[in-house]
Amino acid sequence: MSRFLAQQDGVRCTVLALDIELDSTRAQAHAPATVIALPCLWKRFYVPRSGWRTIKKLVGEADVIHMMGHWSVLNLLVYLAARSANKPYVVCPAGALPIFGRSARLKRFYNAIAGRAIIRNAAAWIAVTAGEFPHFETYGISTSRVVVIPNGVTEEDFPLADKQEFLNRHDLPDVPVVLFMGRLNPIKGPDLLLQAFIQIRHRFTDFHLVFAGPDGGMLSELQQAAEQAGISEYVHFLGYVSGNDKSAAYRYAKLLVVPSRQEAMSIVALEAGICGTPVLLTDQCGFSDIRLVDARLEVPATVDGVAQGLSSLLADATVLEHLASAWKDFVGRHYAWRNIVSEYIGLYKSIIMPHVVK
């Protein structure tokens, strides 16, 4: 999003983030947008070590601030700077508003001292799907005030990659693969996928399961479960992947599974689609549009639901081939950043120049 914004005439875009897993390659990928990274003091809660002067400076230079997510100390600091400088900001929680998963008490405390105020005082509210409307309503924001702008994707971010080089680097066999891409934490549901894979593996013995993503507290649990089920040699954990490795992982997989227990709109589903990889996701991903491609691609967020979905899709290779083509075409037509970015520009202009943009 930042890159496509910065490509628009007359627009300067700066991304403020923490330095977690942010190397020069990832930062450069945002060009012509500028990336400013603050050092992270505490990864568990994404607390910056310093940077108040930087935050104040960037907020002061901005015409409008776009805040992503919700449970963030960085968002809180930006909010305080924006209020002090009387600068408008928009919020796009991307499914993060419900109190779900770990640290429920801490999240309630965050909302009590600042979180609700951050949402209420925004100049505009963005949902990535209409499924977020109830989330905003619990914070006192009526549905009529929320704008829906979906996540986007661009094919240029996922170039063709050398498959064999990828396999060698990660010590992976050249076999059919079911892929999970994301953090290994409960909200993303990797345990649901692993248990579903255990259920159906006797029918699909050629398939391996690959988890690509950083540990969010479940890595050892998942490894132990695979070992106890006697399938550890068929389950692989790559850790965090990006760039060409991420592109190669999508293209290597026969199927991406998004087994989330709570999500607004899965960006990895779009990334896989633009790479020509079909997707199976749960009905908690806020992405029911995928049913327009094939109703079998959305399943209940349960072990049995995911297992049934896997069984249905893996049973016939021609089904996956057809769905790969259909999903790629659907994503390209509806979720290309080159089309979506104009909706953001229009929204920002309506905030900065309300008398000009109706």
Residue 199's Cβ-count burial label (10 Å; 0-12, 13-18, 19+) is: middle
pLDDT range class, residue 266, cuts 50, 70, 90 = confident
Per-residue pLDDT at 276: 95
Contact 153, 270 (CB under 8 A): yes
Per-residue pLDDT at 358: 43
pLDDT range class, residue 102, cuts 50, 70, 90 = confident
Q: How far apart are CA 230 and CA 209, in angstroms?
A: 13
Q: Which fold has domain 156-334?
A: Rossmann fold (3.40.50)
Per-residue pLDDT at 236: 98
Average pLDDT of span 227-234: 97
pLDDT range class, residue 342, cuts 50, 70, 90 = very high
Q: How far apart are CA 93 and CA 277, in angstroms?
A: 27
For the chain, the average pLDDT equals: 94
Evaluate if residue 357 carries a pLDDT over 70: no
Count Cα atoms within 13 angstroms, Cβ side, for 358: 0
Mapped onto helix, strand or coil, the DSSP state of residue 63 is: coil
If you search the block for the tokens 């105020």, which residue do you land on?
A: 117
Q: What is the β-pairing status of strands 177-181 and 146-148?
A: unpaired
If you search the block for the tokens 């990659």, which residue do you land on?
A: 161
Average pLDDT of span 151-158: 92
Average pLDDT of span 302-316: 97
Per-residue pLDDT at 117: 98
Partners of 279 in the β-ladder = 256
pLDDT range class, residue 287, cuts 50, 70, 90 = confident
Evaluate if residue 44 carries a pLDDT over 90: no
Per-residue pLDDT at 27: 85
Concatenating the DSSP letter of every residue in 215-275 gives: BSS-HHHHHHHHHHTT-GGGEEEEE---HHHHHHHHHH-SEEEE--SS-SS-HHHHHHHHT
Task: Indicate the domain borders of the chain.
Answer: 2-152+337-352, 156-334
pLDDT range class, residue 356, cuts 50, 70, 90 = very low
Average pLDDT of span 168-181: 96
Average pLDDT of span 25-29: 84
User: pLDDT (tens digit, 9 = 90+) per residue, 57-97?
Assistant: 999 999 999 999 999 999 999 999 999 999 999 999 998 99
User: Is 156-334 the same fold as 2-152+337-352?
Assistant: yes
pLDDT range class, residue 232, cuts 50, 70, 90 = very high
User: 2-152+337-352 belongs to which homologous superfamily?
Assistant: Glycogen Phosphorylase B; (3.40.50.2000)
Evaluate if residue 194 carries a pLDDT over 60: yes
